[in-house]
Structures are given as structure tokens and as C-alpha cells.
Amino acid sequence: MEAMGIPLAARVTLASGLLGLTLCVTNQWTTAELSPALQRSGVLAGLLSVGLMLVALLWTRIQPEAPERVVLEGRQGLELVAGLPEPLAEELGWGTQMLLTATPAASVLVHWRGRTLVRRGVLATACFSPGAICSRASATERAISLVNLALYPGRAEFIGLPDGVPAVLIQPLGSQGWVLLGGWSTRCFSRSDEAWLQGWAQRLRTALERWGPSGEPSEGVPGGS
């Protein structure tokens, strides 16, 4: 790991800038007589040194330190509600596996019409019950990304995800359900992750609506509310 989270190239550039500025000031200070040519060269050398330090600063902003992956407590597994039509079960199995593979998600949960249909990845022991944040996602019909769950007072809403999960991405399925992703680290979900989740959610919502209101998951569902 890079010291202090600063890339090696940025540290070398910063050190070069500091060294150059120090030498420039020392040279000007110890010179007995400052000629116009020496003054001009000193100004140019100082600007060059400051420029190198600015490049190092911008480098650290362009390439920030990656958030540290959190060790989540819980067993790895798959909980799928009983009684689902085979095509829908296959869609849920395929989509959740792809989300765990193609995104930084540690846990995936699909909640539809009051029931948790599937949980996959790192599993929590508590049941999920949607609250105000999920309701806001449904009302706006847009995904909500909580980049650092510890900062949100309503984080108790997501006890159906592994304890200590650092980031959550909520994708509404219309007004009747949600897909939740729990990430391995803070700020882990990118725009491309959100776009991928939105695309699968649209496909999943169609499949769920075809299942119809008469299709009821069986009682005693693992992870059901």
C-alpha cells in the first residue's frame, strides 16, 4: 500500500518540487549580488517548483485512495422463496449472480409486494422491512445511493442486509418493490453499476408483474417480512 495513500509518482513529483524550491531560495539567499538575470532565473525556477507541487496535488485527487474493503459478518448463501414459477426463479438467480459478479456488491436482496423473494451473497439474520428511504426511491422512481451508510440516521431500515455494510444502492421496482445492493466498501458503486442495476430491474419488474397478484409466495419464507 502506498504511504499515506499517495501514489509513488505523486510523492516523487512533490519531493522534486520541494527540493527545487528549497534550492532556489537558498541560492537567492546566499548570493552576494543579485543580478537581473539571476533574479529572472530564480523566479522561473520557483514557478517550476510550485508547478511540480501542484501536479502532485492534482495527481492525488485524480487517483484517490481506494476505499478499504470491509469484512462483513455472515454466511455466504442463497435464499430463494418457495413456490416461484421456474422462469422467474431462473431470472432471480441469474440476475443476483451477475450483480455479485459484475459490481462491488456483497449482498443482493429483492423485495416485492411485502415479501423478500431472494437474498444472495453475505446473508443477514434479520428480516428486511422497507422504510422511508425505500419509499422515497419509489416516489421519485429513481435509484438512491447511500455512499456511506454510517452517516445516515435511517440506516436501521437496512437491517435485512449484513451488519456493518458500508454502502447501499436502492433501485425501486415501481411502487411495489425494490432491489437492494450492499457494497463491500464506502463509495463503491459507480454510475455504470447503477445503470446495470436499473436495466436488470426493468426486466425483473416485467417478469414480476407477469407473475401477477395471484402468485403468492409460500408462508415461512426465509428472509420474508
pLDDT digits 0-9 by tens, 45-103: 888 888 888 887 776 665 555 667 888 988 999 999 999 999 999 999 999 999 999 99
pTM above 0.75, yes or no: no
pLDDT of residue 221: 37
pLDDT greater than 60 at residue 4: no
Residue 192 φ/ψ, nearest 5 degrees = -70, -35
Q: Are 106 and 162 in contact (CB under 8 A)?
A: yes
C-alpha cell of 145? 445511493
Q: Hey, what CATH topology would domain 76-211 get?
A: Beta-Lactamase (3.30.450)
- Residue 110 banded pLDDT, cuts 50, 70, 90: very high
Contacts of 172 (CB under 8 A, 6+ apart): 134, 137, 138, 141, 142, 143, 178, 201
Beta bridge partners of 87: none
Half-sphere exposure of 76 (CA within 13 A, CB side): 5
- Which residues on adjacent β-strands are paired with residue 95? none
> In the chain, what are the domain boundaries?
3-62, 76-211
For residue 119, list its beta bridge partners.
Answer: 79, 109
Strands 105-112 and 167-172: unpaired
Summary mean pLDDT of the chain: 85
Long-range own/partner contacts, residues 68-71 (CB < 8 A, 24 or more apart): 68/185, 69/184, 69/185, 70/164, 70/165, 70/166, 70/184, 70/185
- Please report, as a single letter, which amino acid is at residue 144: I
- 32-46, 123-137, 194-208: lowest mean pLDDT where? 32-46
DSSP 218: P
Amino acid occupying residue 142:
R
